[in-house]
Structures are given as structure tokens and as C-alpha cells.
A and B are shown apart, each in its own frame.
Chain A
Amino acid sequence: MTGIDVESIRSDFPILKRRVRDDKPLIYLDNAATSQKPVEVLDAERTYYETSNAAAHRGAHQLAEEATEAYELARAQVAGFVGADASNIVFTKNATESLNLAAYAFANATALSRWGTSVDPRFVLQPGDSVVVTEMEHHANLVPWQEVCAKTGASLRWVPLTDDGRLELAGLDGIIDASTKVVSVVHQSNILGTINPVVEIMAKAHAVGAVGVVDACQSIPHLPVDVSALGADLVAWSGHKMLGPTGIGLLYGTAEILDAMPPFLTGGSMIATVEMERSTYAAAPQKFEAGVPMVAQAVGLGAAVNYLERLGMAQVAAHEQVLTAYSLMAIGKIPGVRIIGPRAAVDRGSAISFVVAGIHPHDVGQVLDNMGIAVRVGHHCAWPTCRRFGVPATTRISPYIYNDLNDIDALVEGIVEAQRFFKVAS
């Protein structure tokens, strides 16, 4: 249907050959939670451990040199993938840590300023200042900002949603105003699938002098994204949702903002000089990478980037667009099923949430699981978003490169089977 050869891709993912729940073939539709890993990612990690394992950025022996080289090569690969320079890419444990790194810059600068340390005033918050998010944030881009506000006296504001699961942008000028010091928004919602106009929102943030942050966890694995074109100061995402290993996340920052931010985790590797009384810090990105880094994960992520670049992100996006349009149509026409989020395949990704009248999402998921279909059920770490739509939870599919229309047909059969099993009139 597009330039993506699903059969060939599937053969690269050993786990997709698995059978589950009494020998049923696995249909994996939970990629917004985490993607599966192609064999070349697994091989890259294994080869690194078998040939070059050492602590990167310390030591002068040959293995240490090779490990450092492998780690920095991975940084360059990731940077190239998103149109950035390697010096603008910080490796973290996961996207949650990336977003905390951003949020703690404000909390730490505010604390440091009280005791006379010179800090960039953009990061110092006080009562009367505001922090802006949206009502569709993942908890990882909401709770850290709540904490920042509690520590500094700043107020949290959010952009509300329309009934169709879009941002209510009409009142944006009243939300992002002269009091706003930071605007942190999700690029593509993990629960609604909505793709937000982040370029426009970042421009508004900069117009009032606020720092702009984008959570790109659900966009970078699925769309061609040039981080510098988003207009954001900071962009956070994770490795494991884009075919890479768990345990590695990313933070892109402009050179100027990374230089201005105080460090987050402190300790080894991130210093310039250390005396008993005080220390000075390395330049970014090392300033934000305390401790022995996760080289194997970085190497695995580099292999994942190669894999996606070979497919072509434009092809990946086109493939997902077909899956999204078909899924919205096929799920949307089942009687008793309500899609939570945009119903049109415009400015939305493949994460599709829905509720089935009379059946709790857990129970829908259980029936699907029994048929070998893996979906996510629950509030998807976006509890306030569920509340906004008056549902305690949803069932969510999130197809990716190795899914095809047959998988969606199986899902539809599964939903109808759940209605039959729970004796819900469809």
C-alpha cells in the first residue's frame, strides 16, 4: 500500500514470530508504549559488549577509546536523524528524565539564585510567574511542572481541549502572556493521537520571552521531524519507542539554552574542575551526563536510527497514515464504539483511543489479549485527559511499521467478540 514492505520488516523482528495465549500469533498494537526491536539493534548491543565494552569518557586504554567512539558515534547518528548537531543532543535515561532535566533547570536556578549564585534569570521563577502546559500532556510532562510550581510559587496553566481532542487555541493569548516563563507541550498526544501545531505555540512562547519545550516521544518515532524547525528550545523523546533499547532517552537543546541551564544530576563526568569547596562544570552535553553512560543502549539506538533511515521516515509516516485512516473508519463504524480524539485522519497519528459502551477498557483488552492482540488499556499516563472526556480509561491501539490492515481487521473482530462475550448489544 506504500513503500513499506511489512512482510520484510516483520522478518527483522524476532519477537513478532512469537505465539501467545494458547498458540495465537502475536499482533502487537502497543507501540505508543514501546516498540519492538529489530535484530540489528540486538546485534549491535551484543557486538559492543563482546568487542568494545568499557566505561566511555574515562580511561585511556584501547577499549575505553572504542567505547567512547561508539557512544559519540551514536550521538551523531541520533543528531543527524533529527536535523541537529551532535553537541545539541543529551543522552538521558528516558524521556521522563529529559523532561525532569528541563523542569529542574527552573527549580534549581530558582534555589541557586536565592543564595547568590549567578544564574540565567529566564530560569528563575516566583509567584506571579506562570508555567503553561496542555490538558493532553502525558504525566511526564505535567507532574514535573506541578513540582516546579510547588517549589517556586509559580502558577500552572494549561490549554484546554475541544470535544474533538484538539487544543482550544482561540484563547491561547490569554494563557501564554507576559507572566509566562516556560511553555511545555506535547507534539503528538499519546492518548488522543492529536498532532499539535507546536511551531505556532513555540513562536507564541518566544514572543513573551518564555522558554519553549516540546515532548516529542510520539512524533519522532513516527514522522520526519527536524527539531530545529520546531522552534523549541528543548525537545525530549525516548529511544525505546523508535526501535531502540530501553534505558536511553534524548534531550535536544539549542546551544544557547543548554549553556544557560544549570546541571540536573551532578557527579562524575559532568565536571570541569572539582575542589573540596566547589566545582565547575563541563560544557553541554557532558554537563548533563553525570556518571558512566549507557553506551550499549546508545549503540543500539544508533542501529535503530540506521534502520529507520533506511526505511525513510516519510515512508513510515505515509504507511501509518494509511493505517490510521483505515483504523478510524473500521473502529468508528462498530456500533457502540466511541473514538476519544480526532476522528479525521488529519493532523493525527496512529495512536487511537476508544471506549466500548458497556464494557470496561480492561475487559476489552482482556478479550483482545486472549486473541493474541496486544493493546494498551487504562489512562495511558494521561489521567486528566481521560477526565476531560468523562471516561475512566480507554483502550488504545498504536500501530507501527510492522502492522498492516489485516491486524486492524483482527482488532475489529476482537472488539465485536468482546461485545458478544459481555452480551453488549452492538
Chain B
Amino acid sequence: MSLESLYQDIILDHYKYPRGRGLMESPLGTAFHVNPTCGDEIDMQVATSEDGGLLIGYEGTGCSISQASASVLYELVQGRPVADAEGIRLAFVDLMHSKGHADPDEEVLGDAIAFVGVAKYPARIKCALLPWMALQDAEIKGGLMSEPGSDQE
């Protein structure tokens, strides 16, 4: 396994030049998640636009994988309907649990397909998932999504 397969240029680019980074004034829901094994932090905020699109605000500190993942998240779900964003989120979670054997759909995951190599490094999967878990939590807190399992019969 080469370093380049883990740190694809897309990831390093998002790390150096994060898209949409910054917090909003009045979010519907916020979630602060940390990775207790390494101290990486992410502050995730959600709101909705007038036409029902998801709005994202975030800040964080941490490794290139966790911070690039937040930037890619922003790029993928900003302005999308909440249900679409959830589909993307689940596709990303699946990709991270693929042990690196997935053939991710670029149509759905865009730049996030670059994270396929991360799934080969168990210690780094949590880094990549951190902002996406915070997104789910922020959506639940903002009333945009129900608790997992709560809609089951």
C-alpha cells in the first residue's frame, strides 16, 4: 500500500483549501464530535434554505483525513434536499466499511471517492467518518432527521 493511495491529491487539496469552512449565525442543529483516541474535533451545523436545501457550517481541528472529509462533505451536501444528503452520507459510510474493496459511484460521491484508500487503514476510518457522524447528529438535533431506528415498526 502506498502513501499516495491513502493521501490522494484530492484529499490533500481539500485539506489545504477547505471548502465552505466557517460557522453560521443561527443553525437549526449543531453537533460537536471528537475522536477521543486522538483528539480530532469537528463542530457541525445544519440549517435549511427557503427551498428546503441543506445548509452546512463547520469548523474543526485534526488530521488531514478528518478535515478533508469535512470539506468534501460540505461540497457534496450543501444545498441538497435532506433526503439526498442522507443517501450520500450512507454511501460514504458504506465506502468506509468496504475495507478498500469498493468501486464507489462518482456520480453519488464526487470527490469522496478519493477516500477509498482510507478504508484500508482501520485506524483512520474514524477520522474520515467524524464529520459525517456529526452531520447525522446535527440533523437529528435540528429536527431534520429522526433518531436512527425510531421510524421502524
Query: Do the beta carbons of B1 and A22 come within 8 Å of each other?
Result: yes
Which of A21, A363, A379 contacts B63, CB < 8 Å? A363
A362-B38, A393-B39 are known contacts. Are A367 and B61 too (CB-CB below 8 A)?
A: no
Residues facing B in A373-387 (CB within 8 A) are: 377-379, 383, 386
By size class, the interface of chain A is 10 to 19
State in angstroms the CA–CA spacing of A422 and B95 once bound together.
25
- Asked if A370 CB lies within 8 Å of chain B CBs, one says yes
> Within 8 Å of chain A (Cβ to Cβ): is B127?
yes
Interchain pairs with CB closer than 8 A, number = 48
Question: Are A379 and B38 interface neighbours, CB within 8 A?
Answer: yes
| Contact of A360 with B64 in the complex, beta carbons under 8 Å | yes
Quick check: B3 and A362 within 8 Å, CB to CB? no
Contacts of B7 in A (CB 8 A): 363, 366, 421
Residues of B within 8 A of A386 (CB): 39
Complex contact B12–A360 (CB within 8 A):
no
Taking CB atoms, residues of chain B closer than 8 Å to A21 are 1
Knowing A360-B63, A360-B64, A362-B127, say if A393 contacts B1 (CB, 8 Å): no
A360-B63, A362-B63, A362-B127 known; A392 vs B39 contact (CB < 8 Å): yes
Q: With the chains together, A367 CA to B7 CA distance in Å? A: 10
A421 to B5, CA, bound (A): 13
The distance from the CB of B29 to the nearest CB of chain A, in whole angstroms, is 25
Q: How far is the CA of A386 from the CA of B3 in the complex (A)?
A: 27
Residue of B nearest to A383 (CB): B39
User: Within 8 Å of chain A (Cβ to Cβ): is B6?
Assistant: yes
Flag if B3 contacts A370 (CB, 8 Å). Answer: yes
Give every chain B residue within 8 A of A360 (Cβ-Cβ): 62-64
> Smallest Cβ distance from A237 to chain B, in angstroms?
23
Residue B99 at the chain A interface, CB threshold 8 Å: no
Q: Are B124 and A377 in contact (CB under 8 A)?
A: no
Q: Which residue of A lies closest to B41 (CB)?
A: A392
- Which of these, A361, A366, A378, A379, contacts B3 with CB under 8 Å? A366
Most buried by B among A360, A378, A383: A360
A8 to B18, CA, bound (A): 50
**Contact call B6/A366, Cβ cutoff below 8 A:** yes
Q: What residues of A have a CB within 8 angstroms of the CB of B40 in the complex?
A: 362, 392-393
B residues 79-122 in Cβ contact with A at 8 Å: 121
Q: Report chain A residues within 8 Å CB of B39.
A: 378-379, 383, 386, 392-393
Q: B37 at interface (Cβ–Cβ under 8 A)?
A: yes
Neighbour of A421 across the interface among B3, B41, B62, B63, CB < 8 A:
B3
Measured in the bound complex, the distance between the Cα atoms of B61 and A163 in whole Å is 23
- Chain B hits for A377, CB < 8 A: 38
A302 CB, nearest partner CB in chain B, Å: 32
Contact flags B28-58 to A (C-beta < 8 A → 1, else 0): 0000000001111100000000000000000
Are A363 and B64 in contact, with the CB atoms below 8 A? yes
CB distance from A373 to the nearest CB of B (A): 13
In the complex, the answer to whether A392 meets B3 with C-beta atoms within 8 Å is no
Contacts of B61 in A (CB 8 A): 392
Q: What distance in Å separates the Cβ of A337 from its nearest Cβ neighbour in chain B?
A: 17
- A selection of 28 A-B contacts at a CB cut-off of 8 Å is A360-B62, A360-B64, A361-B38, A362-B40, A362-B62, A362-B63, A362-B127, A363-B63, A363-B64, A363-B65, A366-B3, A366-B6, A366-B124, A367-B3, A370-B1, A370-B3, A377-B38, A378-B37, A379-B38, A379-B39, A383-B39, A386-B39, A392-B41, A392-B61, A393-B39, A393-B40, A421-B3, A422-B64
Instruction: Please list the residues of chain A having a beta carbon within 8 angstroms of any beta carbon in chain B.
Output: 21-22, 360-363, 366-367, 370, 377-379, 383, 386, 392-393, 421-422
**B interface residue numbers (CB < 8 A to A):** 1-3, 6-7, 12, 37-41, 61-65, 121, 124, 127
